[in-house]
Chain A
Amino acid sequence: MIKIGIRFKFIFFTSLLIATIGIASSWFFSTQTRSQLEEELKKRGYSLIAQLAQDGEVKDSMSVAQKAFFEEPIRRLRNLDIEQELAYWRVLLAQDDVLLEEKEKWIKTEIDKIPVHNNIEDIIGPVFSIFSADNGEHFYDFAVPIYEKHTITEEEFATQIFGSEGEHNEIGEKLLGIVQIGLTPERINMKMQKILWTNSIPLGIIIVLVGVGVSYFIASSVVKPIEQLVKITDKVAAGDLGQKVAISSRDEIGLLASQFNQMTKNLKQLIEEKEGVSEKLKHVNKELSSINIELVQKHEQLNDAQEQLVRTEKLAAVGTLASGVSHELRNPLSAIKNAVFLLKRKLSKEAIPDIDEKILQFLDIMDKEIDRCSKIINDLLGFTRVTKPTRLSSDINTVVKEALSRVEISKNIKVSKHLQSNLPKVMIDANQIGQVLINIIDNACQAMVDGGKLKISTNMAEGFIKVEVGDSGCGIPEKEIKKIFDPLFTTKPTGTGIGLAVCHGIIQKHNGVIDVKSQEGIGTVMFIKLPLGEKDAGPA
């Protein structure tokens, strides 16, 4: 798209305006001048014809119908015709006889083509008309009646006042005929041409050129400061708010420049304030974020605490129940165990060689089940008897190794250990932590019935000793993960659901964290975090 600048537009339209005004003025003044010249020609015609009418020699010549007597009046007439506009003249007597008719040599129209006035008696004063010949020539035609005056004007007036009787009627004048002259407006055309070529056109050109020059000057004085303003605006838009427009003219542009400078100054101030506010906002935002994080943490902690509380209450309830039930069951179980023992002795092969094998099998089953019940009872009792840990500075790797040695691991389970060396000692109850590890490792192995990988690692991070026990077992469904530390919750067919709850309690008493990550079909990882820097609490 072609860009047209203000300068060009201004110059173009100003020049166009000047040219239009110039042409209109020229046309108007030409028309006026022409009208004026035509009017002057008309006046000259009337004047010349009046001169003829007043010429006594004309009256005398007409009264005696002597053509030759007209030579002198015509000569006088031509002398009066300074502009040489006289084209023809004609003298017509009252009887409609043409006494004299002549034309100038340079007139192309023949004299007989110029109309003769008819009914001259009807002409009472000077008559004017414009005659156009077939060859294009135009003439201003004037005719005037010539009267034979009876007397001087004052006596004529006396006749009016005093009345008359006698030869002369009210009119008192005898019509001798008419005199007709024609003037050509050709000189007007020549004058107009001259005016056009010597005055109008050169003047017009000068006016247009001057107009273009002046409008260029004016346009420049307007456009230059605007261009400067545009440049500064670009810089300001690019971010340089220190720019100032150096225009100090006392007009609208100067005012615009000063307002622009004020605007950039205000803008700079506002931006600085905004940045200040932004900084503050960032700071506040940061604070809010950290508060938010804290809140989230607190929320999690609260949730954990709530869960813990629920779990603890559950545990407490379970513990109370377990304690009561265990005590009550232990005695009967002992009695049953003794009885089974005695039965086995009495019903052994040595004593009864042809005893049914099934009876002996049933007695074994009973013995195992009694053991299993005892274990459950012990576990329950163990759960209720979790005591305050006796913390001693211990090497976690040693505790892990000890726990590994005490668990029966199937040969189809591959064990990998990544125990970080030189870990700082941690204040723990090694037995209890060992118990926890045993439980976890045992659960991991139980989850890998068909074999798998058992991975145990230890490291230090963020003020904690971390122990991870991972397996490649069946994993724990997501909806059950949260419940695994709840007492009596188990995913195992033969579990009591107490083990992990006890582990959770122990770790909690150590101010640590126990957590789990699991994916069904992939495996489970148990995390234990034990805080460093805990002092020995002493034996419970």
Chain B
Amino acid sequence: MINKNHKYTVFIIALWTLLFSAYCAHAEETAIVIKSQDLSAYNEVVKGFQEECLKNNITIKSIYDLNGKMKLGQKVVRKVKKEKPDIILTIGVLAATVAKDKIGNVPIVFCMVINHERFHLSAPNITGISTEIAIEDQLKGFQSVLGPFKNMGVIYDPSKTGSIITNAEDKIKDAEINLVKYQISSSEEVSEAMKNLIGKIDALWLLPDSTVVTRKSLDLIKSTTLENMIPLLCTSDVFVKAGALAAVSSDYNYVGRQAAGLAGKILELPDLSSLGIVNPDHFKLSINTDTAEKLGLELKVVQEDPKINIYP
């Protein structure tokens, strides 16, 4: 004779299974996340994506970490193909590159790819979220910290961030700011660039340019700007933490959420389509108060805003 309790338990389980199956039968879309390496920023994106997927009835089948290894990436992609997800989220350039190269029949949403234009991440099945915040928003953020300023200097490698400058120039001019540019082709030229710009600028805009930003040059840029009382404005809160005055950067959690939103939209489309490359719709302002103090800036109003990250 079957115990009554056991019967009850079985019933509950069956009911749940039925319900779950029904639920699962209803939520057919699956997603796989491939992140390039284990970075906290990438993990934030995953978190946001997961949270938003739940709302959009997208099931995340697997999350793969390529650990920065190209070969592992190729292995993972083969696995992913077998799993046949409805959509793939790639985080970072390695994952995006590998997925784009091998997968053409599944929609891919990429994010956290710095200067994505360099990597030709465009295909009928690829949608992306750029890491560049709209220049107007950046300037707004910088001016809320600094107040109005006239001359903004920028050092850049045209082969890497030339398009950012080209796209931003007119808008910077509209904001009545004079963009003082200095082109370099190797990181050894950063010192010369700094010497050239100091004295001509009110602030230095640090782009995510791997020719400009190296471990060596970053120290030089930080020390030189501070010595000459020039605010260093950038696009990474990591640099603000390290001593730059302010940064307007993506909110990584919201990037994940935005990616999930895009995934939902793509999955609703009848055919395999791309929604193009969009800017992040959420960004954060980070400020280093120590640096502000050294530069003699008053940040009372800014400090009161809870959305602003204050360092240290």
Name A residues whose Cβ lies closer than 8 Å to a Cβ of B: 150-155, 157-167, 170-171
Name B residues whose Cβ lies closer than 8 Å to a Cβ of A: 36-42, 67-70, 92-94, 112, 114, 208, 210, 213, 215, 218, 235-238, 241, 252
Q: List 24 A-B contacts (CB under 8 A).
A: A151-B37, A151-B68, A154-B114, A154-B210, A155-B68, A158-B114, A160-B218, A160-B238, A161-B208, A161-B213, A161-B236, A162-B40, A162-B41, A162-B42, A162-B112, A162-B236, A162-B238, A163-B41, A163-B241, A164-B40, A165-B39, A165-B40, A167-B38, A170-B215
B residues less than 8 Å from A166 (CB atoms)? 38-40
B residues less than 8 Å from A152 (CB atoms)? 68, 70, 93-94
B residues less than 8 Å from A163 (CB atoms)? 39-41, 236-238, 241
The residue of chain B having its C-beta at the shortest distance from the C-beta of A149 within the complex is B68
B40 touching A158, Cβ below 8 Å: no
B114 touching A157, Cβ below 8 Å: yes
Of the candidates A150, A160, A165, A170, the one whose C-beta lies within 8 Å of that of B68 is A150
Could you list 4 further interchain pairs (A-B, Cβ under 8 angstroms) beyond the known A162-B236, A166-B40?
A: A152-B70, A153-B210, A154-B114, A155-B68
**A164 → chain B, closest Cβ, in Å?**
5
The residue of chain A having its C-beta at the shortest distance from the C-beta of B210 within the complex is A157
Count chain A CB atoms within 10 A of each CB in B37, B237, B241 and give the residue with the most: B37
**B248 → chain A, closest Cβ, in Å?**
13
Query: Number of contacts between A and B (CB, 8 Å)?
Result: 71
A158 touching B213, Cβ below 8 Å: no
A residues less than 8 Å from B241 (CB atoms)? 163
Question: Which 6 residue pairs are nearest across A and B when measured between Cβ atoms?
Answer: A151-B68, A162-B41, A163-B238, A157-B210, A165-B40, A161-B236
Interchain CA distance A216-B89 in the complex, whole Å: 88
The residue of chain A having its C-beta at the shortest distance from the C-beta of B95 within the complex is A155
**A501 → chain B, closest Cβ, in Å?**
134
Interchain CA distance A170-B241 in the complex, whole Å: 14
**B205 → chain A, closest Cβ, in Å?**
15
Count chain A CB atoms within 10 A of each CB in B42, B68, B94, B252 and give the residue with the most: B68
A161 touching B94, Cβ below 8 Å: no
B38 touching A158, Cβ below 8 Å: no
The residue of chain A having its C-beta at the shortest distance from the C-beta of B94 within the complex is A155
B112 touching A157, Cβ below 8 Å: no
B238 touching A158, Cβ below 8 Å: no
Decide yes or no: A164 and B210 within 8 Å by CB, A151-B68, A158-B114 being known contacts.
no
**A378 → chain B, closest Cβ, in Å?**
149
Of the candidates A154, A159, A170, A171, the one whose C-beta lies within 8 Å of that of B39 is A159
**A371 → chain B, closest Cβ, in Å?**
155
A residues less than 8 Å from B39 (CB atoms)? 158-159, 162-166
Interchain CA distance A150-B68 in the complex, whole Å: 6
**A34 → chain B, closest Cβ, in Å?**
27
Interchain CA distance A163-B237 in the complex, whole Å: 9
Interchain CA distance A432-B138 in the complex, whole Å: 165
Of the candidates A151, A160, A167, A170, the one whose C-beta lies within 8 Å of that of B213 is A160
B92 touching A155, Cβ below 8 Å: yes
The residue of chain A having its C-beta at the shortest distance from the C-beta of B238 within the complex is A163
Decide yes or no: A157 and B213 within 8 Å by CB, A163-B39, A163-B238 being known contacts.
yes
Interchain CA distance A171-B69 in the complex, whole Å: 17
Interchain CA distance A171-B216 in the complex, whole Å: 11
The residue of chain B having its C-beta at the shortest distance from the C-beta of A159 within the complex is B39
**A356 → chain B, closest Cβ, in Å?**
168
The residue of chain A having its C-beta at the shortest distance from the C-beta of B68 within the complex is A151
The residue of chain B having its C-beta at the shortest distance from the C-beta of A170 within the complex is B215
Interchain CA distance A160-B241 in the complex, whole Å: 12
Decide yes or no: A158 and B36 within 8 Å by CB, A151-B69, A153-B210 being known contacts.
yes
A151 touching B210, Cβ below 8 Å: no
A residues less than 8 Å from B93 (CB atoms)? 152, 154-155, 158
The residue of chain A having its C-beta at the shortest distance from the C-beta of B236 within the complex is A161
Interchain CA distance A164-B235 in the complex, whole Å: 16
**A310 → chain B, closest Cβ, in Å?**
124
A residues less than 8 Å from B92 (CB atoms)? 155, 158
**A158 → chain B, closest Cβ, in Å?**
6
Interchain CA distance A151-B37 in the complex, whole Å: 8
Of the candidates B112, B235, B252, the one whose C-beta lies within 8 Å of that of A158 is B112
B residues less than 8 Å from A171 (CB atoms)? 215
B114 touching A161, Cβ below 8 Å: yes
A residues less than 8 Å from B252 (CB atoms)? 162
**B55 → chain A, closest Cβ, in Å?**
25
A161 touching B238, Cβ below 8 Å: yes
**B241 → chain A, closest Cβ, in Å?**
8
Interchain CA distance A167-B67 in the complex, whole Å: 11
Interchain CA distance A158-B236 in the complex, whole Å: 10
**B246 → chain A, closest Cβ, in Å?**
16
